[in-house]
Amino acid sequence: MTKLLFHGARGVLLVGLLLALLLGLAAAAALQREPSVVLTAAVDHRDVARAVALLRAHDPRRVPAGRVRQLWLGERDLDVLLSHAGQRWLGAVGRVRVERGAATLQFSARAPAWPGIALFGRWINVELRLRETPALPAIESASIGRLPLPSALAARMAPWLAARAGLAAEARLAAEVVQQVRFAPRLLLVTYAWPGDGRQRVMATLLRPEDRERLRPYHDRIVELAARAEPAWQAPLAELLVPLFELARTRSAAEGADAAAENRAAIVALTLYASGRGAGGVLPADWPRARPMRLLLAGRDDFPLHFLVSAALVVEGSSPLAQAIGLYKEVADARGGSGFSFNDMAANRAGTRFGELAVQAPARLQAAVAGGLAERDFMPEVADLPEFLSQAELRRRYGGVGAPAYNALVEEIERRVDALPLLR
């Protein structure tokens, strides 16, 4: 009996050692020392302009339900989309290469900081080869580093990965809406048709149920603040920031609370209110509406939205995109609107820095804001900065975006933002 037990234990030990060896070999093949994708070109205002135009053209509120439409996307569009989505949901950067009948997707992400894993490599590099079919693309091959994956296994993993990233609803909607994807050299053609409830389902994907639940207390607080504001028609932005971050600080003190998530909810709720959307579109229709007010920052009603939109984009996970959107608006203004304004850019940069602090030092920001806030704490002096510049005037005085004179003024704005007490 003792002999049998000994042999049995030895067998279990050998199986365990064999499994450990196989896992080690798999890790050695899957992990690599360098990323296969490096983010070389930052998102700029032209990319954002293109994205805005595409969103407007294919908005489910503008396209009749059931009508078959086509969407052309170039490789640059796809690279921007993959990199933003990859960084937002997967902590990865991505790129795509499209040829006739096929496309290759690559992602690179840092490996988890587990003990000993650096011996094998610090990067997870994933490559998917997609093949065109009469309907949706099929996975032709897949690999993680040097470790090949059976295409059937990769296809089964895709829904699981979407669910893990919180994108299950988006994946289901895309599978229902998209009828065919075709690949051409450096181009992708999507044929689609929105269902009758497409608008509602798209809006529902913008905020997950847990996000809506966290957002509700801040929305209700804004409703309360707007109802009792004096005068009733306007208020400084700081007068709403302080009570909202007092609430964030209180809620963050609860056991297991996430201070950065609470800050995110406060910023998003206030941004929705400042934009005039409030409970419409994104938030549930049965939520109470806040009384509209004119929010002011440095005596102006356009600065609060510049500040808040930039902060909201950062807490949503894309600081480079926040900067690009701020720049895009200014370039668009110079082409036919009010003109390019460096003071608007200062509000954008201050908002971006505020958003960064909200997620990187959440408790410190809560304490600072909840303790009382003056505009000079988070908004730089802008009265002397040029504004209302046409595109021609911008080129004449500063050489255009990226020229030395333009960059010198941008550096001055950065210096002023760096000196703000709250944002140091």
Mean pLDDT of 301-310: 90
User: What integer pLDDT is reported at residue 334 of this predicted model?
Assistant: 54
At residue 45 the predicted structure's pLDDT band, cuts being 50, 70 and 90, is low
Mean pLDDT of 7-18: 51
User: What integer pLDDT is reported at residue 87 of this predicted model?
Assistant: 65
DSSP 202-266: HHHHHS-HHHHHHHHHHHHHHHHHHHH-SSTTEEETHHHHHHHHHHHHHHHTSTT--HHHHHHHH
Torsion of CA 334, 339, 342, 343, to 10 degrees: -150
Most confident range, picked from 20-24, 156-160, 392-396: 392-396
In a shared domain, residues 231 and 371? yes
User: What integer pLDDT is reported at residue 25 of this predicted model?
Assistant: 47
In a domain, 168, yes or no: yes
In a shared domain, residues 61 and 155? yes
At residue 403 the predicted structure's pLDDT band, cuts being 50, 70 and 90, is very high
At residue 229 the predicted structure's pLDDT band, cuts being 50, 70 and 90, is confident
In a shared domain, residues 149 and 70? yes
Most confident range, picked from 191-195, 248-252, 317-321: 248-252
User: What integer pLDDT is reported at residue 378 of this predicted model?
Assistant: 96
Domain holding 306, by residue range, is 207-418
In the predicted structure, residue 24 carries a pLDDT above the cut 50: no
In the predicted structure, residue 385 carries a pLDDT above the cut 50: yes
Mean pLDDT of 257-263: 94
In a shared domain, residues 193 and 215? no
Mean pLDDT of 298-313: 90
pLDDT, one tens digit per residue, over 169-198 is 778 888 889 999 999 999 999 999 988 877
| Structural domains in the chain (count) | 2
Q: Between 15 and 223, where is the model more confident?
A: 223
Distance CA 279, CA 289 (A): 6
In a domain, 381, yes or no: yes
At residue 120 the predicted structure's pLDDT band, cuts being 50, 70 and 90, is low
In a shared domain, residues 325 and 377? yes
Taken in order 227, 230, 231, 237, is the CA torsion positive or negative? negative
- Spacing of C-alpha 263 from chain mean position: 16
At residue 38 the predicted structure's pLDDT band, cuts being 50, 70 and 90, is confident
Most confident range, picked from 98-102, 148-152, 153-157, 210-214: 98-102
Whether the full predicted model's pTM is greater than 0.95, yes or no, is: no
In a shared domain, residues 217 and 178? no
Which tokens in the block code for residue 271?
């941004």
The last residue of one of the domains, among 159, 175, 202, is 202
In a shared domain, residues 237 and 157? no
* Angle at the Cα of 273 from the Cα atoms of 331 and 53, rounded to 5 degrees: 35
In a shared domain, residues 248 and 153? no
Distance CA 252, CA 215 (A): 14
Mean pLDDT across the chain: 82
User: What integer pLDDT is reported at residue 194 of this predicted model?
Assistant: 87
Question: How many Cα neighbours within 13 Å face the side chain of 120?
Answer: 22
In a domain, 36, yes or no: no
In a shared domain, residues 169 and 211? no
pLDDT, one tens digit per residue, over 320-362 is 555 555 565 555 555 555 678 999 999 999 999 999 999 999 9
The last residue of one of the domains, among 185, 202, 219, is 202
User: What integer pLDDT is reported at residue 324 of this predicted model?
Assistant: 56
User: What integer pLDDT is reported at residue 22 of this predicted model?
Assistant: 44
pLDDT, one tens digit per residue, over 363-380 is 999 999 988 999 999 999
User: What integer pLDDT is reported at residue 203 of this predicted model?
Assistant: 64
At residue 70 the predicted structure's pLDDT band, cuts being 50, 70 and 90, is very high
The last residue of one of the domains, among 171, 202, 233, is 202
In the predicted structure, residue 99 carries a pLDDT above the cut 90: yes
At residue 281 the predicted structure's pLDDT band, cuts being 50, 70 and 90, is low
Cis peptide before 292 (omega within 30 of 0): no
In the predicted structure, residue 253 carries a pLDDT above the cut 50: yes
In a domain, 14, yes or no: no
In the predicted structure, residue 95 carries a pLDDT above the cut 80: yes
Mean pLDDT of 13-17: 52
At residue 86 the predicted structure's pLDDT band, cuts being 50, 70 and 90, is low
User: What integer pLDDT is reported at residue 23 of this predicted model?
Assistant: 46
In a shared domain, residues 189 and 317? no
Out of 69-73, 273-277, 304-308, 399-403, least confident range: 273-277
In a shared domain, residues 198 and 212? no
User: What integer pLDDT is reported at residue 21 of this predicted model?
Assistant: 45
Q: For residues 169 and 205, is the Cβ–Cβ distance under 8 A? A: yes
User: What integer pLDDT is reported at residue 7 of this predicted model?
Assistant: 47
In a shared domain, residues 230 and 324? yes
% of residues, the chain, pLDDT over 70: 77
